[in-house]
Structure 1
Amino acid sequence: MGAGATPPIPLDVLPQGTWSGRRGWLTGFSYEDRSREPLRAAFMGRTSTEDRQDPTLSIPRQVDSCRAALPEQAVIVAHYYDIESGRKALGARGRGHGHEGFAISVPREGGIQDLLERAAGPRRGFDVVICESIERIARRTYIGTLIENRLEEAGVPLLAADEPFTLTGRRATQVLTRRVKQSIAEWYVLDLLEKSWGGLQTHTEQGYNVGKPPYGYLAEKIPHPVPARRAEGACKHRLRPDPVRGPVVTQLFAWRVAERLGYKALAERLNQDLDRYPPPIPVDPSRALGRWTPSSIRDVLTNPKHTGYMVWNRRATTSDTGRNNPPEAWVWSSAPTHEPLVTKDCFIEAQKVATLRQRSRNVGGVSSHPDAKRTYSLRSFLFCAWCGRRMNGKTRRGTVYYVCAPPKGYAPEGHPNTIWLREALIVAELSDLLAANVLGPQRSRHLDSASGDAVARVGSTKPTSDRASPIPHRSVADQDQAAHQPELPDAPTSRRIQLDLVPDAYRRRLFEALRLKIDFDQRTRTCRVQITLA
């Protein structure tokens, strides 16, 4: 405890105050018989996040300000304070541990949540709560008045050292002063945030990087444009490619787009040669694993700075636990600001792979799950066009089906509880489509024709007791017209493939190479098959 600090008084020893009425503060009351017992106050303080202020100085100063504002017969008997942002919602306040990292000379009974709980209890041990300024309670007017109201309902007035207050029950001027101060404080914070946002947008537009450079880049120091900051040694940073790690990023994107490998498969491939593909080093080197992990692969493949554009606001502030912001909230520079490691089109294609590969294995063969007994060659390639979900493989009485069964409450209107499609019918139809449109001698003519010219019908049955006659479906060979290259159709060998005789591992490699995607629409009984030659 610092010099001059008042030692805490055991709360259970002190008698309750003699305020006239539990809700007297709302209707006017005074502190009676002051000569018999002191006015007991609980201190409530707060500093901003620990990296912006020094709590070892701020909290003791706030206590001194409150003690100086109280009358002589008053004593501070409890100390509550937090080290956190004052803009948090009330439910998230007072739950941090920032105070544990500092040797603060003021004893601490708890935070704002503990204060509110103690105030509502039968033996709170204090008569009023005092803070240095109302902004210390909250930076948002709504949250500040909510806390004030909670205390008033418990019969505890909330005083502020920088406001005029009396103990006679007259509080009109105090309320006016407090509301004006709350409005000014909230305006100041919002105005500062808006100006800071604009400054960071300009900072991004000029191509300066914030934080640790992404994997594949080095930070090139630029002298700070402000002379005073420059004299202190401050600088800004631009990105330039790392000659060793930059090619790794380019290779990662190439594998991701060309082979549609998942994060785990990519990590395993890079870990085979760590000298050629050195793993990332985190901000805290002591946490380095010395190898690639699926999460480190994801960080590289989802960072848009690799396109040469400077991007900011990908993550929310620390008060929101660092959650990722949606792409529409990102701030992009209007033009490239540094040398790209991948093209923007390649980056976009890599993000599409994430949607297709979600919760899907790259390797063939039976799953490692103990209940798995067989493989499903079309897993991760077959989708329900009705709801957009991947269809899962199931076996009934020796027959392989693909099933769409959305969780309850997530199915679109009219969507059946389950949709079934037989694997053998799709595989047979795929063999014909590949022979005619991709590997056949007339493939160029087919690919140049309008989408939908190659049409065939297949049959399917549902595994029900009243087994119906085959339901006709239609398969359509589609093509990607985004970047047409006339020489690509002539590249594959002209040969018919009977897919049901091809081993699962090779069949999956073929499907991956063809960017196979099948959308089955139960409503029209149509399968649309999309193949992209890349």
Structure 2
Amino acid sequence: MNFPWNDTDVTASSGVPLAVAWLGRTSTDDRQDPTLSLPRQLTAARNALPGECLIVAHFYDVESGRMDLDARGRGQAHELLDIPIARDGGIQDLLAEAERPDRRFAAVICESVERVARRTYFGTKIEYELEQAGVMLLAADEPMPQLTPPRGGRARKLATPVLTRRVKQAVAEWYVLQMLELSWDAFCEHTEQGWNVGKPCYGYRAKKVPHPVAAKLAEGRSKSRLVPHPVEGPTVTHIFMLRAVQRLGYDAIADRLNLESGKHPPPTPADPRRALGRWSGSAVREILKNPKYTGYMVWNRRATKQGGKNNPPSEWIWSPRPTHEPLVTEEVFQAVTSTSRSRRGSRSTAGISNHPQAARVYVLRSYIFCDFCERRMYGKSRMGIPYYACEPDMRSQKDRGDWHARHPRSLWIREDDLLDLVHKFFAEHIFSAQRVRKFVPDNVVPERLRKELLDLERRLDNVLVQVEGHIPTGDEEIDRDFRAQLQARFADLARTRRTKAEEAAAWAVNGGLGGDLELLNKSSNLAALDEELQRKLFDAFNLELRYSGDTDEVLIRVTLGNCPE
């Protein structure tokens, strides 16, 4: 460990104590108490220094030693703790002062070299920067080198201490990596077995199970599985249906839920102080993006040690099979995911946008896409005539693809031409007499409901057959009881049939017509409908227009039930 003495250094040979700075670090993530750990590290450093040395400055941080060096020493975690050591700064302040000619110290001591950094690269980098500034890095758990310059020469770097330090740094880094790998594997197994981590998501509640480890059970700890919440669970299903069937935006769904807040209670965040007391678009979005509602346990959706940023789906850990009762089907979840992609940047409500520059409405906004770049075309007026335009920034390097060379600088198409095509398409292909007659039973009402209705009809017929074929026994009391039981059975089946018929009608309305019973009657002349009704109809059929600038053609795509056309 080279110690390049110079004429300005104050050493023990002049009778003045050698000034030393102490460097400490602890992390709140390793179950250490910084108010105890840091004073212990300081005491260990004092005890290891020779008598001619004196600690004159204290630098410490409460943070992970695996962070990049540029990010180190910039946190405020120490301010939240009552640490009984006056702080001169963190690692960045230490390195900055080491470069100054008026620095207060000639050496730096730490309890152990892994306190400097948990990564060998950053630990040796800090050691090198200090050495270049003429400051030696000492460790309390290593033999103390010669601190005063020998007569007739400089202090020399000793091979064995360097090897010992590098081995210790490598072992420390290996230990952290091994613990992270073991912890990762444990969380994966925990997820595959269906155990929940953290607060249950909205719509579920925790079913606590005694912890299988005796020591943790003695501490009162438990594990939990997800079970549907009796009130919140149906709300989650309702939210997914509003998104998948009616394709409403996040804010529009939140507005509907707030109209029935008693039936659909808003979620409560982990920190109750942040509760809004109402539904918001962001709360709806979090629910629609959570795959746990499909019945699978999913972990690692967020990087907890990186500010909670969202990880890409490729990094999520899924259980191999469902582990709890689902609130939505996988098909509905996928439909919502595709709806989110197609609706990105659009809104559900009719009327003029609240943007200050908005001057008019565009009936087909959010439905038309450019076939070159896959971007949504936006409304724009020229000489009072409404158009839909695509004008990407051709200078931008972001998201460049094969389309870039073929895409015109500006691509426009008139709204009235598009509306004529759309209205004609719906009149001829959707609301023709033949299509209307078969639309509801064939494309909207689920097969399950149709089978249940047919079964109820059969069972009602059986009851009627028993009534018609009954031969009196001659015992008036027995015959009266028999007729009463048949009547009760018939009434019960009739009520069930009526309920199922109403459910089928609701599916027909919500699944095909966006919730408006009058749309079928009005659909013969779509141009006469106002913007709100037209957009409700377009949303019900998942309308999508793709404009090809090469051929000046428009591809119209709608979805009937689960069958795109």
Gaps of 5+ in 1: 1-17, 25-29, 448-484
Report the TM-score when normalising by structure 1: 0.83
Kindly, what percent of the aligned residue pairs are identical?
51
1:261-317 deviation line (CA, Å, top 9, x unaligned): 111111111111211111111112222221111111112111111111100001113
Find 2:104's aligned residue among 107, 125, 137.
Answer: 125
Find 1:431's aligned residue among 423, 437, 444.
Answer: 423
Residue 67 of structure 1 deviates from its aligned partner by 1.1
Query: Partner amino acid for 1:209?
Result: N
Contact 1:50 1:98 in 2 (8 A): no
Paired position in structure 2 for 1:516: 543
> Residue 165 and residue 72 in structure 1: after superposition, are their counterparts in 2 closer, same or farther (change >3 A)?
same
> Residue 276 and residue 199 in structure 1: after superposition, are their counterparts in 2 closer, same or farther (change >3 A)?
same
For residue 310 of structure 2, give the secondary structure of its aligned residue in structure 1. coil
Residue 337 of structure 1 deviates from its aligned partner by 0.5
Contact 2:389 2:410 in 1 (8 A): yes
Say whether 1:149 aligns with 2:128: yes
Residue 489 of structure 1 deviates from its aligned partner by 9.4
Residue 444 of structure 1 deviates from its aligned partner by 9.4
Paired position in structure 2 for 1:527: 554
Say whether 1:137 aligns with 2:116: yes
Contact 2:391 2:409 in 1 (8 A): yes
> Residue 445 and residue 268 in structure 1: after superposition, are their counterparts in 2 closer, same or farther (change >3 A)?
closer
Report the TM-score when normalising by structure 2: 0.79
Q: CA separation in 2, counterparts of 1:313 and 1:264?
A: 27
Paired position in structure 2 for 1:506: 533
Q: What is the CA RMSD across the aligned residues, in angstroms?
A: 2.5
Query: Partner amino acid for 1:420?
Result: W
Gaps of 5+ in 2: 147-154, 440-507
1:336-379 deviation line (CA, Å, top 9, x unaligned): 00111111111121122222222212111111223211101111
Say whether 1:86 aligns with 2:73: no
Query: Partner amino acid for 2:378?
Result: N
Paired position in structure 1 for 2:304: 317
Q: CA separation in 2, counterparts of 1:373 and 1:170?
A: 76
For residue 123 of structure 1, give the secondary structure of its aligned residue in structure 2. coil
Find 2:409's aligned residue among 399, 417, 425.
Answer: 417
For residue 44 of structure 2, give the secondary structure of its aligned residue in structure 1. helix
User: Following superposition of structure 1 onto structure 2, how do residues 219-368 of structure 1 map, counting pairs within 5 Å?
Assistant: 219-318=206-305, 320-368=306-354
For residue 401 of structure 1, give the secondary structure of its aligned residue in structure 2. strand
> Residue 258 and residue 446 in structure 1: after superposition, are their counterparts in 2 closer, same or farther (change >3 A)?
closer
For residue 196 of structure 1, give the secondary structure of its aligned residue in structure 2. helix
Residue 36 of structure 1 deviates from its aligned partner by 2.5
Contact 2:5 2:134 in 1 (8 A): no
> Residue 138 and residue 51 in structure 1: after superposition, are their counterparts in 2 closer, same or farther (change >3 A)?
closer
1:158-217 deviation line (CA, Å, top 9, x unaligned): 111112341233332222111111111111111111111111111001110000000011
Residue 403 of structure 1 deviates from its aligned partner by 0.8
Q: CA separation in 2, counterparts of 1:132 and 1:523?
A: 70
Find 2:377's aligned residue among 364, 386, 391.
Answer: 391
1:408-434 deviation line (CA, Å, top 9, x unaligned): 314542122221111111111112211
> Residue 63 and residue 392 in structure 1: after superposition, are their counterparts in 2 closer, same or farther (change >3 A)?
same
Contact 1:436 1:443 in 2 (8 A): no
Q: CA separation in 1, counterparts of 2:542 and 2:262?
A: 32
Query: Partner amino acid for 2:259?
Result: Q
Contact 2:59 2:91 in 1 (8 A): yes
Q: CA separation in 1, counterparts of 2:423 and 2:535?
A: 14
1:427-479 deviation line (CA, Å, top 9, x unaligned): 111122112221124559999xxxxxxxxxxxxxxxxxxxxxxxxxxxxxxxx
Contact 2:28 2:34 in 1 (8 A): no
Residue 50 of structure 1 deviates from its aligned partner by 5.3
For residue 139 of structure 1, give the secondary structure of its aligned residue in structure 2. coil
Residue 91 of structure 1 deviates from its aligned partner by 1.3
Contact 1:152 1:158 in 2 (8 A): yes
> Residue 527 and residue 52 in structure 1: after superposition, are their counterparts in 2 closer, same or farther (change >3 A)?
farther
Q: CA separation in 2, counterparts of 1:32 and 1:60?
A: 27
Residue 33 of structure 1 deviates from its aligned partner by 5.0
Say whether 1:114 aligns with 2:118: no
Say whether 1:369 aligns with 2:369: no
State the number of aligned residues.
Answer: 471
For residue 221 of structure 1, give the secondary structure of its aligned residue in structure 2. strand
Paired position in structure 2 for 1:63: 42
Q: CA separation in 1, counterparts of 2:128 and 2:157?
A: 17
